[in-house]
């Protein structure tokens, strides 16, 4: 029975005895009264990364948030959470503290310590910590590491969602300052918008991922393995042929004025160059 935050196998996160089971049912019944997330209005649903090892809580939250119109990325350990954070560029992270391979606060720490241009993590992404430990000291520790909000388990889903909405609203302007510019190419990670010479260029998710990685270190040659692993993920079924065809399309889309920003380094990989190579 998927109750919020209960059934967690980690001893430090046992729900307090007054765990409000009734609250969990109230949560389910509340869906019809919810307003849709504002992201729906822009036809660009916010992507939430959920890092939670307890299967019941994870399934419950993933189902509810998906039903509320968010795109969900889901991980059950710290390592996978970090990988998704680095490769899928979510808009917000909800994470558990007690994970099997480390503390969720390590993800918070690494995120806040990230360099916006050199690293693939946006250091200002909103982070909501789910904590089974709800003492003041534990809450303070989360905030000190850089959490934007801390929600004690067991939690009320409507309240969690309200907090998520509030954070996303407040961070709407964040995208503007997260924009990466290399020469005439401008890339906005939050809205996934790309401009070349001020003209919008529509990229697929993978093409965007490729470009974002390449512009994170202009001039550097990224090997095909590295690109595949980062953009397609560790469990990739992609091949170098998949990569080559995406890179080819990306190069063509960016080349409205005949500029070649994406250069194939024969047999090795790709790099982003500015100034661009001639047509």
Enumerate binding residues for Ca ion (CB under 5 A): 8, 10, 53, 96, 98
User: What minimum distance in Å lies between the beta carbon of 169 and Ca ion?
Assistant: 28
Residue 98's nearest CA partner among 46, 43, 153 is 153
| Residue nearer to Ca ion on the CB measure, 8 or 259 | 8
Longest dimension (CA), the chain: 69
Nearest to 129 by CA among 92, 181, 91: 92
The least CB distance from residue 10 to Ca ion, in Å, is 5
In the chain, % helix, strand, coil (3-state, to 5) comes to: 40, 20, 35
Cβ-proximal residues to 167 (8 Å cutoff; 6+ apart), any chain: 92, 126, 128, 148, 149
5/178 with CB nearer Ca ion = 5
Contact 126, 147 (CB under 8 A): no
CB of 23 to Ca ion, least distance (A): 20
| Closer residue to Ca ion (CB): 96 or 148 | 96
Nearer to Ca ion by C-beta: 37 or 98?
A: 98
Closer to Ca ion at the Cβ: 129 or 231? 129
From residue 85, alpha-carbon distances to 68, 135, 201, 228 in Å are: 21, 28, 24, 16
Q: In what order do the strands lie in the sheet with 127-131?
A: 71-75, 47-51, 92-96, 127-131, 149-152
Q: 92: helix, coil or strand? A: strand
At its nearest, how many Å lie between Ca ion and the CB of residue 114? 24
- The least distance separating Ca ion from the CB of residue 130, rounded to whole angstroms, comes to 8
Nearest approach, Cβ of residue 85 and Ca ion (Å): 18
User: Closest residue (Cβ) to Ca ion?
Assistant: 98
CA distance 4 to 18: 13
Closer residue to Ca ion in complex, CB, 129/263: 129
What the block records as the tokens of 9 is 């196998």
Q: How far is the CB of 251 from Ca ion (least distance, A)?
A: 44
Distances in whole angstroms, Cα of residue 26 to Cα of each of 13, 15, 160: 22, 18, 14
In degrees, to the nearest 5, what angle opens at C-alpha 170 toward C-alphas 164 and 171? Answer: 90
């Amino acid at each position: 029975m998927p109750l919020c935050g209960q059934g967690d196998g980690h001893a430090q996160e046992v729900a307090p005895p007054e765990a409000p089971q009734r609250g969990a049912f109230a949560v389910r019944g509340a869906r019809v009264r919810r307003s849709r997330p504002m992201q729906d209005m822009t036809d660009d649903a916010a992507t939430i990364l959920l890092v939670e090892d307890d299967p019941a809580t994870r399934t419950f939250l993933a189902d509810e948030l998906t039903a509320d119109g968010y795109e969900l990325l889901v991980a059950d350990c710290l390592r996978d959470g970090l990988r998704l954070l680095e490769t899928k560029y979510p808009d917000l992270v909800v994470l558990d503290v007690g994970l099997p391979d480390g503390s969720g606060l390590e993800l918070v720490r690494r995120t806040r310590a990230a360099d916006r241009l050199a690293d693939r993590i946006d250091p200002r992404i909103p982070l909501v910590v789910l904590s089974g430990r709800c003492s003041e000291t534990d809450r303070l520790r989360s905030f000190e590491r850089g959490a934007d909000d801390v929600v004690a388990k067991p939690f009320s889903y409507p309240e969690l969602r309200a907090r998520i909405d509030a954070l996303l609203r407040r961070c709407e302007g964040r995208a503007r300052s997260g924009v990466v510019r290399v020469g005439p190419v401008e890339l906005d990670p939050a809205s996934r918008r790309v401009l070349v010479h001020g003209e919008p260029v529509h990229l697929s998710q993978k093409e965007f991922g490729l470009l974002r990685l390449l512009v994170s270190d202009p001039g550097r040659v990224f090997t095909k393995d590295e690109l595949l692993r980062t953009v397609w993920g560790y469990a990739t079924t992609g091949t170098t042929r998949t990569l080559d065809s995406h890179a080819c399309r990306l190069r063509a889309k960016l080349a409205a004025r005949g500029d070649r920003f994406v250069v194939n380094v024969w047999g090795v990989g790709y790099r982003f160059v500015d100034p661009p190579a001639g047509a």
